Amino acid sequence: MGLLSLLEIKDLKTYFDTDRGLVKAVEGVTFRINPGETLGVVGESGCGKSVTALSVMRLLPRPIGRIAGGSIFFKGEDLTKASEARMRQIRGNKISMIFQEPMTSLNPVLTIGFQIMEPLMLHQGMGSKEAKERAVELLQLVGIPDPKQRVDEYPHQLSGGQRQRAMIAMALACKPELLIADEPTTALDVTIQAQILDLMNDLQREFNAAIMLITHDLGVVAEMAQRVVVMYAGLIVEEAPVASLFYEPLHPYTRGLLASIPRIDKELDKLHVIPGFVPSPFEFPDGCRFHNRCERAFSRCSREIPPLYSLGDGRMVRCFLYDSDSGGGDR
C-alpha cells in the first residue's frame, strides 16, 4: 500500500443477491486517492460508480448487497473488516458523503440546523448550544442567506440549490479527510451547478479534504479533478491524470464519451453517439464488456476480459489494443 494514499481500494467486488440472480455490480475495482486530491469517477448510469462509493461507506442495502472480495484501506485501516460501531465513528466524521438528491437524503421532519448539529454532538462532543452556533457558521460558509433563520427551517422550505448547500454543510461539519460527492450537481440548473462547484473548490482548499467526485459530466471532471477513473459495466477501463485523459483518451469507450460532448464548433445534428446500450448486469457479454459497442473490437475481445495495462505516467487502460506482447493485434 502506498504511504501517501488516504484511501486505497484493492480488487473490490460488490455483489447483490436478487430474485433474478447474482448481480456483480463492481468487479475487481482498484484505485487510490491521496490527501487533498480530487479523483473523478465517471461513466454512464449503472456502471458501478455509486455502488463503489456506498461500499466505501459500508452503506450497501442489506441483506441483498455485500462486499464479496477485496479491501478498502482508509489511512491503513481495512474498512471491509471494521465493525459497525467503528464505521459509525468514521461515517460523517472522517469520511462524509454528499448524496445525489438532497430531498431524499435530508430528513423532512427535522430542521436543517438539527441535521447539521447531530454529527457535531455525536462525533465532536459539542453541546447543543455550541453545535447550533457552529451550524449557523457552516450555513453561512456554504453561502445560504439568513443562516440564523434558515437553521430552524425544514428541508421543504429551502430551494434545491440551498438544500444541496445544506447537504454540503452537513458533510463538512466535522472537517472530514475524505468527501464523497455523488453527482452533487445533477438536479440543479447550470448557474447553481457552477456556484456549487466553486463552493466545493473553495472548501476543499480551506479544509484540505480529498474528494471522490462521482459524475457522468466530463465538464465537471475537467474543472474539479486532478485524476480520473473511467468505469464501464462494473470495471475500471481507464485511469489517467485529467489533462492526459482529455488530450489523449486511450480506451475506445473514453473516446466515445469525449466525442459525444456537445461543442460550439460542431453541428448539433452531427453529434457522436456510442452505439448500443450499457449491458444489463444480469447479462454481461463474454470477453471485454464493451466489445459489442466498440468500433475497434476484434475476435480476441469477445473471448477474454482484457487486464488493466499500465502505460506509465499514471495511465492505465483495459484494452487489448495496448497489449505490447501482441502489438494490439488479434493473437
Give the amino acid at 46. Answer: G
Placement of cell 448487497 in the chain: 65
Does the pLDDT value for residue 146 go beyond 50? yes
Are 316 and 240 contacting, i.e. CB atoms less than 8 angstroms apart?
yes
Does the pLDDT value for residue 318 go beyond 60? yes
Q: What is the mean pLDDT of residues 54-64?
A: 94
Q: Can you give the pLDDT at residue 264?
A: 64
DSSP 138-149: HHHHTT-SSHHH
pLDDT band with cut points at 50, 70 and 90 for residue 71: very high
Does the pLDDT value for residue 179 go beyond 80? yes
Question: What is residue 187's DSSP assignment?
Answer: T
Placement of cell 493485434 in the chain: 329
Q: Can you give the pLDDT at residue 249?
A: 95
Report the run of H or E that residue 33 belongs to, with start and end.
strand 21-33
Give me the residues paired with residue 69 across strands.
13
Are 135 and 188 contacting, i.e. CB atoms less than 8 angstroms apart?
no
pLDDT above 90 as % of the chain: 63
pLDDT above 70 as % of the chain: 93
- Angle in degrees, 0-180, between the axes of helices 128-141 and 112-123, rounded to the nearest 10: 120
Does the pLDDT value for residue 1 go beyond 50? no
What whole-number distance in Å separates Cα of residue 330 and Cα of residue 327? 9
Are 282 and 20 contacting, i.e. CB atoms less than 8 angstroms apart?
yes
Does the pLDDT value for residue 188 go beyond 90? no
Placement of cell 467503528 in the chain: 86
Strand ranges across the sheet with 7-18: 21-33, 7-18, 65-74, 77-78
Are 321 and 254 contacting, i.e. CB atoms less than 8 angstroms apart?
no
Does the pLDDT value for residue 269 go beyond 60? no
Q: Can you give the pLDDT at residue 193?
A: 79
Q: Who wins on pLDDT, 186 or 111?
A: 111
Q: Can you give the pLDDT at residue 206?
A: 83
Q: What is the mean pLDDT of residues 133-140?
A: 93
> Spelled out in words, what is the top-level CATH class assigned to the domain 7-94+174-322?
alpha beta
Q: Measuring CA to CA, how many Å separate 16 from each of 62, 66, 264?
A: 9, 6, 42
Q: Can you give the pLDDT at residue 2?
A: 43
Q: pTM score > 0.95 for this model?
A: no
Q: Who wins on pLDDT, 186 or 264?
A: 186
Does the pLDDT value for residue 268 go beyond 60? no
Give me the residues paired with residue 71 across strands.
10
pLDDT band with cut points at 50, 70 and 90 for residue 104: confident
User: Per residue in 216-259, pLDDT tens?
Assistant: 888 889 989 999 999 999 999 999 999 999 999 999 999 999 98
User: Per residue in 189-200, pLDDT tens?
Assistant: 788 778 888 888
Q: Can you give the pLDDT at residue 266?
A: 60
Q: What is the mean pLDDT of residues 284-291?
A: 94
- Angle in degrees, 0-180, between the axes of helices 190-207 and 160-172, rounded to the nearest 10: 10
Q: Can you give the pLDDT at residue 149?
A: 95
Q: Measuring CA to CA, how many Å separate 104 from each of 90, 258, 277?
A: 22, 31, 28
Structural domain spans, the chain: 7-94+174-322
Work out the mean pLDDT of the chain and round it to a whole number.
89
Does the pLDDT value for residue 327 go beyond 70? no
What whole-number distance in Å separates Cα of residue 155 and Cα of residue 110? 8
Q: Who wins on pLDDT, 3 or 152?
A: 152
